[in-house]
Amino acid sequence: MAASVLVLLIVGVTVTLAVDPQGCTYDSTLKEYTCNARSWSPPLVYSDFDNVPQVLKLIEIDGALSYTGPATFSGFENVNTALFDGNIVPALHIRCVSGGSLIMYNGTFANMDWVKELRIFDCMILSIPDDVFSSFGTLNYFSIDGGSISNMGFNCFNGVNIERMNSVPEPLGMLALRNTQITSGGLANGVLYSLANVSTIILDNIHVRVIQKDMFQASTKVTHISMKNNPFIALPADMFDKTTSLTTLEISGIDWVCTCPNLWIWSFLSTHNVSLTGDIVCASPTANLRAAEYYKQQCDTTSACGDDTGVVIGTYCYVISDIVFHGVLLITFIIALIAFAMTVHLKRQTGDQKPGGRPKRGDRKASGSTWKKVGGSKKGEPRKGESMA
C-alpha cells in the first residue's frame, strides 16, 4: 500500500512539473497560449510549455521585455514548426495593461523567427529601437493598435521583411499602425525604406501632422495605402510617384485645405488608374464642399474634348465627326421634308383635273342638271332655234 502511494505521489510530482508556465493557459481549439505578466516570472521557457505555443499572447504587460538578466523568452529556437496547424498563423500578440508601458530592446525577440504575425495592443511604447524586429525575419502581418509611440528609430524595421506569405492561410503583407498617437507628429524620416515588399500600408488615426514626400519611395509593391483620420491638411505633390503598383488609396477624414495645388491628387488618381476609397471633403475655403466639386469648378482646365477637335457645350464635347454626322442627318431630314411637301402639292393639283371636279372657266351650268356650252357656235352654223335663212 505504501509503495502504491509513493508511486502515485511520484506520478503526481511528475505531472506537476510538466504543466505550463505559471500564469499561462492553453486553448487547444485555437492552439494558443495566453500568459499574464502579473503571474509569471521571466523568462518564459519554451520547454516548460506542455503544448507547442503556435500562438503566444502576452497580456497585462507594463514595463520592459528584456533580453538579458533574464531574457523574456528562452529556448524558443527549439520550437518544432512541424507540429504547427497549417490553418493557424504562428503569432505573437503583446497587450499592455490599461495605461501600461512597453520597453523593447534590440535582442528582445531573439530566436522568434517562427512568428509570422506580430501584434501590439494598447501600449505606451517609450521607444522602438533600430533593428528591434530583425529577429522575426519575414512577417505576413505587423500591427500596432492603440496606445502611443514616443520615439521611433529610423531603422526600427531594418532586417524585417513584411510581405504576402503564401505559406499562411491568409497572405497579407500588411503593416498597420492604427489609433496610435505618434507623439512627435510624424513618422521618423525614412522609417519605411526597408519595407520594399509590403503590400498594404495602413496609417490610420495616428495623429501625424507632417507627411514626408518620399516616405513611400521604396514601397514599389504596395497596392493599398490608407492614411485616413489624421490631422494633416494636404499631401506633398507627387508623393506617390514611386508606388507603381498602387491600386487603392484611402484618405478620408482629413480636414483638407482645398486649393488647386493641394488637390493634385485628382489628376494622379485618373492618370494612374488608382481608386479612391471614401470621400475627400474640404474644410476650407468652403467647408463641407466635396473636393471633387471644388477641383471641377476651380482647377480643372482640361477641355471636355481632350486632344480632339470639337465644340464644348456645357460638359459635353461634340467632336468634328459628330458635328458632320448630325449636320448630314439634319440636311437629309430637311430634304425629305421638302420632298414630302412637294408630293402632297402635286397630288392636290392632279386631283383638280379629275371628272366631277370644279367646272372650267367659260362653262356655266344650265337650268337642268347638265352643263351646256354657251358662247358662239362654229362659223356658218345657225344657233339653235334659228334658220339658215
388 or 92, greater pLDDT: 92
This prediction's pTM: 0.74
Total residues belonging to the chain: 389
Residue 377 domain-assigned (yes or no): no
pLDDT in the model for residue 388: 46
Q: Domain check: are 195 and 73 in the same one? A: yes
pLDDT in the model for residue 387: 47
pLDDT exceeds 50 at position 9? no
Residue 229 domain-assigned (yes or no): yes
Residue 43 domain-assigned (yes or no): yes
pLDDT category, 302, cuts 50, 70, 90? low
pLDDT tens, residue by residue, 312-342: 565 566 677 777 787 888 898 899 889 888 8
Residue 359 domain-assigned (yes or no): no
pLDDT tens, residue by residue, 212-227: 999 999 999 999 999 9
pLDDT in the model for residue 48: 95
Give the C-alpha separation, 136 to 140, whole Å: 10
Give the C-alpha separation, 222 to 224, whole Å: 6
Count of domains observed in the chain: 2
Residue 384 domain-assigned (yes or no): no
Give the C-alpha separation, 90 to 174, whole Å: 15
Q: Domain check: are 326 and 181 in the same one? A: no
Closest CA to 115 of 130, 134, 102: 134
Residue 209 domain-assigned (yes or no): yes
Task: Indicate which CATH number applies to the domain containing 50.
Answer: 3.80.10.10
pLDDT exceeds 60 at position 304? no
pLDDT in the model for residue 149: 97
pLDDT in the model for residue 356: 54
pLDDT tens, residue by residue, 135-186: 999 999 999 999 999 999 999 999 999 999 999 999 999 999 999 999 999 9
pLDDT in the model for residue 358: 52
Q: Domain check: are 55 and 96 in the same one? A: yes
Q: Domain check: are 321 and 215 in the same one? A: no
Q: Domain check: are 230 and 104 in the same one? A: yes
Q: Domain check: are 215 and 329 in the same one? A: no
pLDDT in the model for residue 377: 46
Residues 6+ apart with CB under 8 A from 158: 130, 131, 134, 194
Residue 330 domain-assigned (yes or no): yes
Q: Domain check: are 290 and 327 in the same one? A: no
pLDDT exceeds 80 at position 367? no
pLDDT category, 270, cuts 50, 70, 90? confident
Q: Domain check: are 286 and 322 in the same one? A: no
Closest CA to 140 of 198, 59, 180: 198
pLDDT in the model for residue 2: 39
pLDDT category, 108, cuts 50, 70, 90? very high
DSSP-assigned letter for residue 196: T
Q: Domain check: are 328 and 235 in the same one? A: no
Give the C-alpha separation, 135 to 109, whole Å: 6
Residue 351 domain-assigned (yes or no): no
Q: Which of 288, 314, 336 is the last residue of a domain?
A: 336
Mean pLDDT of 279-307: 83
Q: Domain check: are 268 and 326 in the same one? A: no
By percentage, how much of the chain surpasses pLDDT 90? Answer: 65
Q: Domain check: are 53 and 107 in the same one? A: yes
pLDDT exceeds 50 at position 31? yes
Q: Domain check: are 179 and 318 in the same one? A: no
Q: What share of the chain is helix, strand, coil (3-state, %, to 5)?
A: 20, 25, 55
Domain containing residue 325: 305-336
